């Protein structure tokens, strides 16, 4: 349960603009996800990589919020 709370906290900090997209991705990469969500974690990291390298930086926050919503919907 603590892992899920930590992930929620990371999402909250991104939503509050305490983290940019790159830092959010870095923190997710090192976060401990429950075993059943490891595959989901890898797909999230890939999605964030795609955003970073194929989208305009001005869209990072909005696109990152879409990833945050996926995370919160999955871990709740």
Query: What is the 8-class DSSP label of residue 57?
Result: G
Q: What's the pLDDT score for residue 1?
A: 66
pLDDT band at 76 (very low <50, low <70, confident <90, very high): confident
pTM assigned to the model: 0.92
Kind and range of the H or E run holding 17:
none
* Segments making up each domain of the chain, as ranges: 2-75
The tens digit of pLDDT for each residue in 20-34 reads 999 999 999 999 999
Which has the closest alpha carbon to 8: 38, 40, 33?
33
Crossing angle of helices 21-30 and 38-54, in 10° steps, is 160
The tens digit of pLDDT for each residue in 11-70 reads 999 999 999 999 999 999 999 999 999 999 999 999 999 999 999 999 999 999 999 999
Phi and psi at 26, nearest 5°, equal -60, -40
């Amino acid at each position: 349960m603590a892992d899920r709370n930590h992930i929620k906290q990371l999402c909250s900090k991104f939503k509050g603009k305490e983290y940019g997209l790159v830092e959010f991705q870095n923190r997710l990469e090192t976060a401990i996800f429950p075993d059943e969500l490891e595959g989901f974690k890898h797909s999230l990291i890939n999605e964030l990589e795609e955003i970073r390298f194929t989208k305009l930086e001005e869209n990072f926050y909005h696109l990152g919020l879409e990833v945050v919503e996926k995370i919160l919907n999955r871990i709740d």
